[in-house]
Amino acid sequence: MSNINLIDSFQEFKDFKNIDRPTVISVLEEVFRSMLRKKYGTDENCDVIVNPDNGDLEIWRTRKVMEDGFSEDDDLEIELAEVKLLDADMEVGDDYIEQITLESFGRRAILAARQTLVSKVLELEKDEIFKKYKDRVGEIVTGEVYQVWKKETLVLDDEGNELMMPKTEQIPADYFKKGDTVRAVILKVDMVNATPKIIISRIAPDFLQRLFEIEVPEIFDGLITIKKIVREPGERAKVAVESYDDRIDPVGACVGMKGSRIHGIVRELKNENIDVINFTNNISLYITRALSPAKITSIKLDDETKHASVYLKPDQVSLAIGRGGHNIKLAGKLTGYEIDVYREAGEEDEDVDIEEFSDEIDSWIIDELKAIGCDTAKSVLALSIDELVKRTDLEEETIKEVMSILKSEFE
């Protein structure tokens, strides 16, 4: 058996996706050199030749021809009488070159070599996957959902590599089933028990930043810079942007004509509200923009304690706070200031349109109240809970919650 086709002999090689052929061949050569050392004590007088195109293997062993009785090492030398039986033309001092066949190692050695080969290549493949993804942390990856468990989802990339997305890294509204295509950002890559563990995320600020880079060419080209992103995944996000070209409106470029650019991002993030604002070093102006869509009357800053007191008209307070307090919380994270909102002095008696509470009260509840003529906060508070229960289809618990929200507006 002069040639041994290793690609056919070791079918596993066909499944190794992340290792190039030269690396596999070097592993093959090392495995067979190890077999030679076990069999002959040394491999220094052996040549292992692997054909990179088809995997054919040739092993050649060279020994010096010595006079009978003068051979000191049978692994490196061969006596004349012995070599004459193999090649009559050999003389003392010649190099006797013979080809070693795979069968000469024996079945058990071949099986052991096969096992060693597979484990070494698998180990190399894991290292290659780790290196590949370690360099891609922060990039978006697209994969197919393979398995959904209670606490995490298994995603396969286009090469079949396993990516894990914990439940804590998913948007609350995310719902996946096997076969779904999913986009996420590579969050971190660790080596656990010699196996790469790749964690992906859809709630990381980097995910939103990469989506903007995909949708907004000016960001990708560096004409617009994203200064900071803060998120309450699935609820609201605030993105501060800055342009280095006075001719480019960074907010307009990010939103696009009639919202064309940002709509795709909003859909990807399960209808997360995204506020894009112009970054500025003027803290008062920055806080004013960060509290959008609320309109601020005045601001008092304490730069030492990083505290801001913001004064607004009564109908703007709920907008500044936002549904679930997300708006004011994100504005604080974006600007780095702790923000307190206050109703503007002298405005205590003003009423507030019920529609102004749309961030905190569901629209269908507002419609129920408006249907009985309660279109302002005070008109609702003027009625008792029992009367509201009788006149609307709302439950008592719902009405109590609404009353609490409305009362807090005037406290």
Task: Identify the top-confidence range among 42-46, 223-227, 311-315, 373-377.
Answer: 223-227
Superfamily name and number for 136-203: Nucleic acid-binding proteins (2.40.50.140)
pLDDT of residue 109: 76
pLDDT of residue 360: 85
For the domain bounded by 354-410, which CATH number is listed?
Answer: 1.10.150
Model confidence, pTM: 0.63
CB 353 within 8 A of CB 347: no
pLDDT of residue 347: 46
| C-alpha dihedral (334, 340, 345, 351), degrees to nearest 10 | 80
pLDDT of residue 18: 56
Residue 5 pLDDT > 90, yes or no? no
Q: Which run of H or E residues covers position 338?
A: strand 338-343
Cα of first residue to Cα of last residue in the chain, in angstroms, is: 94
CB 129 within 8 A of CB 18: yes
pLDDT of residue 91: 87
pLDDT of residue 224: 93
The domain limits of the chain are 4-132, 136-203, 354-410
Placement of tokens 């004013």 in the chain: 288
Peptide bond into 293 cis (omega under 30): yes
Task: Report the chain's mean pLDDT, rounded to a whole number.
Answer: 85
pLDDT of residue 147: 93
Confidence of residue 119 (pLDDT cuts 50, 70, 90): confident
The tens digit of pLDDT for each residue in 155-203 reads 999 888 899 999 999 999 999 999 999 999 999 999 888 889 999 999 9
What is the CATH architecture of 4-132?
2-Layer Sandwich (3.30)
Q: Rounded to an integer, what distance in angstroms lies between the CA atom of residue 207 and that of residue 290?
A: 21
Query: Quick one: average pLDDT of 109-136?
Result: 81
